[in-house]
């Protein structure tokens, strides 16, 4: 079966990961742990009494000066065992001084003097309570981090406009940073296996945007992401212990527009389907040509970008020609550790290859709330609104509410609800009709997906998950002849997550 083939695609990744672990010099290698950001010193530490003391482990890199006395940590048995002195559980009390024994591996933000947990795709922010997933090493002055999530999906979209497909999607990410004087230099590369699924992507009712062949728009399908999703560098200069200025450039990269991209925000990272609001909120996460400059003052960030307005074309393996013909600005505020808020606006020059005469203005606002609770549980929710103003054309609103709860790092429940004003769903049919001159008809559609995942650890920092989701829709009656009166879609998937 094709699904079996999809699973076999996981193996090279597992192998590459295992070899990377082998190749690492022992004393440089530091096993990772998913820790949430340092807690505020005012906050209570997690209860310690329940945690049995772990035996000391000579191989741990912790034998330098300071034991990890307040390093509460890692929820996997292996990492707990390797870090004696660390306490299992959530990471309250994990303060900046925490890794004194191995400061080298503590990664600060690329863009400012705060814990790296806050940073997501491009220059976007998430709450400080975001779990820091990835594996770290240090090589000389460089700190490295890797992260990966690969889904093998069987997709069924219901109704006359639906379809079936098995595909592999996801991302593999590597980051490197070093301190240079008062600044931080960072590089990031993110790759996607999506192009191997074919240029026409996968069936996804109500999804629109981009093209598979340069002639017809993708409708009721999600386009594949490009092989190179991000190849970016940044430099930030510290102005004070809590403020900095930064520049970021990517080919491709992500401009300062919208919330963190769906595969990078905690509330959406485990959901294997793209949101239908993607082109209202975060579709610019792969932009060929981005330059951003910003200022960080404590928990505030203000930034502006110049970038290429055109979305990626159907050739998903290449790096496209950069331009700086569009611009955006974003204001982000993290008022408390658990919350990140942003508003942003941008002007996109000729984003759609198939409607080059149309420019777009976009406004977005979003809130992400991430709350660890109990010993090993996490809840994360994002609400976002995006408005597309096509010139010439319609003004279209999209809303998204998505939420994930992860229990004991093993059981994930997720949901995503969306409401979008669409004018492209019948575009193929209208294109064949005589020109009417008026604006395209707008249909407001609604979609809800609910699903879950069960994870099994298969190696250190590598877990295999099996999951499924079901989607239902609320459609205006004018669309029912096309979509059926009550379509139902589902996906079943296996995923490998490096964390
Ligand atoms: Cu995308």
Could you read off the pLDDT tens digit of each residue along the chain, which spans 499 residues? 343 333 333 333 333 333 444 344 433 444 344 444 444 433 333 333 334 433 333 333 333 333 333 333 333 333 333 333 333 333 433 333 333 334 434 678 999 999 899 999 999 999 999 998 889 899 999 999 999 999 999 999 999 999 999 999 999 999 999 999 999 999 999 999 999 999 999 999 999 988 999 988 999 999 999 999 999 999 999 999 999 999 999 999 999 999 999 999 999 999 999 999 999 999 999 999 999 999 999 999 999 999 999 999 999 999 999 999 999 999 999 999 999 999 999 999 999 999 999 999 999 999 999 999 998 999 999 999 999 999 999 999 999 999 999 999 999 999 999 999 999 998 877 655 555 556 789 999 999 999 999 999 999 889 999 999 999 999 999 999 999 999 999 999 999 999 7
Cα 347 vs. chain centroid, distance in angstroms? 23
Q: How far is CA 469 from CA 39, 141, 271, 326, 422, in A?
A: 34, 44, 8, 37, 24
Pair 315, 330: CB distance under 8 Å: no
- Centre of ligand 1 to C-alpha 466, Å, is 23
Three-state SS at 388? strand
- Centre of ligand 1 to C-alpha 161, Å, is 22
Pair 344, 239: CB distance under 8 Å: no
- Centre of ligand 1 to C-alpha 496, Å, is 20
- Centre of ligand 1 to C-alpha 278, Å, is 7
- Report residue 105: phi and psi, to 5°: -95, -5
Cα–Cα distance, 462 to 76 (Å, whole number): 10
Claim: this prediction has a pTM higher than 0.95: no
- Centre of ligand 1 to C-alpha 311, Å, is 10
Predicted pLDDT at 431: 54
218, exposed or middle or buried, with CB in 10 Å at 0-12, 13-18, 19+?
A: buried
Please name the residue that has the structure tokens 């400012």: 112
- Centre of ligand 1 to C-alpha 381, Å, is 19
Number of H helices, E strands in the chain: 6, 22
- Centre of ligand 1 to C-alpha 282, Å, is 7
What number of other Cβ atoms are within 10 A of residue 476's Cβ? 11
Beta strands per DSSP E along 349-485? 359-373, 377-391, 395-407, 411-422, 443-459, 462-474
Label residues 302-325 b or e (16+ Cβ within 10 Å = b).
ebbbbbbbbbbebebeeebebeee
Predicted pLDDT at 178: 94
- Centre of ligand 1 to C-alpha 351, Å, is 14
- Centre of ligand 1 to C-alpha 283, Å, is 5
- Centre of ligand 1 to C-alpha 26, Å, is 38
DSSP state of 442: -
Predicted pLDDT at 159: 96
Cα–Cα distance, 239 to 182 (Å, whole number): 8
Cα–Cα distance, 119 to 103 (Å, whole number): 19
Q: Pick from 277, 219, 222: which is nearest to 397 by CA? A: 277
Cα–Cα distance, 125 to 118 (Å, whole number): 5
- Centre of ligand 1 to C-alpha 223, Å, is 8
115, exposed or middle or buried, with CB in 10 Å at 0-12, 13-18, 19+?
A: buried
Cα–Cα distance, 245 to 294 (Å, whole number): 6
- Centre of ligand 1 to C-alpha 254, Å, is 11
- Centre of ligand 1 to C-alpha 285, Å, is 6
- Centre of ligand 1 to C-alpha 220, Å, is 15
């Amino acid at each position: 079966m094709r699904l079996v083939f999809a699973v076999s695609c996981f193996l090279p990744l597992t192998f590459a990961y295992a070899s990377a672990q082998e190749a690492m010099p022992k004393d440089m290698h530091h096993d990772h742990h998913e820790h949430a950001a340092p807690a505020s010193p005012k906050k209570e530490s997690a209860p310690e009494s329940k945690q049995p003391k772990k035996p000391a482990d000579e191989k741990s890199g912790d034998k330098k000066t300071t034991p990890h006395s307040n390093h509460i940590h890692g929820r996997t048995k292996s990492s707990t065992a390797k870090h004696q002195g660390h306490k299992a559980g959530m990471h309250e009390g994990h303060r900046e001084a925490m890794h004194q024994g191995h400061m080298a591996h503590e990664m600060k933000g690329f863009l400012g003097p705060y814990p790296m947990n806050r940073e997501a795709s491009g220059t976007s922010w998430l709450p400080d309570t975001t779990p820091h997933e990835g594996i770290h090493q240090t090589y000389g002055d460089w700190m490295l981090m890797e992260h990966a999530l690969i889904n093998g999906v069987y997709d069924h979209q219901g109704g006359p406009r639906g379809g079936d497909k098995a595909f592999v999607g996801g991302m593999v990410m590597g980051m490197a940073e070093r301190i240079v004087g008062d600044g931080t230099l960072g590089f990031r590369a993110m790759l996607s296996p999506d192009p191997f699924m074919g240029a026409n992507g996968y069936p996804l009712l109500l999804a629109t945007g981009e093209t598979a062949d340069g002639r017809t728009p993708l409708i009721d399908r999600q386009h594949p992401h490009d092989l190179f999703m991000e190849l970016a560098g940044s430099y930030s200069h510290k102005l004070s212990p809590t403020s900095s200025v930064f520049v970021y450039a990517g080919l491709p990269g992500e401009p300062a527009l919208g919330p963190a991209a769906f595969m990078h925000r905690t509330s959406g990272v485990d959901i294997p389907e793209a949101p239908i609001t993607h082109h209202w909120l975060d579709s610019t996460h792969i932009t060929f040509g981005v330059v951003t400059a910003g200022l960080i003052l404590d928990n505030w960030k203000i930034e502006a970008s110049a970038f290429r307005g055109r979305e990626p074309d159907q050739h998903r393996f290449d790096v496209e020609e950069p331009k700086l013909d569009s611009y955006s600005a974003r204001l982000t505020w993290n008022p408390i550790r658990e919350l990140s808020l942003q508003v942003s606006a941008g002007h996109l020059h000729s984003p759609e290859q198939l409607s080059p005469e149309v420019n777009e203005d976009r406004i977005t606002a979003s809130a992400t709330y991430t709350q660890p609770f109990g010993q090993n549980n996490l809840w994360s929710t994002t609400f976002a609104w995006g408005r597309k103003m096509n010139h010439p054309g319609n003004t279209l609103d999209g809303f998204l509410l998505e939420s994930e709860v992860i229990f004991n790092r093993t059981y994930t429940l997720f949901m995503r609800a969306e409401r979008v004003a669409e004018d492209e769903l019948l575009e193929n049919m209208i294109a064949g009709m005589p020109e009417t001159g008026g604006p395209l008809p707008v249909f407001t559609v609604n979609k809800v997906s609910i699903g879950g995942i069960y994870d099994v650890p298969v190696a250190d920092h590598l877990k295999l998950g099996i999951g499924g989701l079901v989607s239902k829709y609320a459609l205006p009656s004018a669309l029912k002849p096309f979509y059926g009166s009550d379509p139902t879609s589902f996906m079943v998937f296996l995923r490998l997550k490096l964390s």
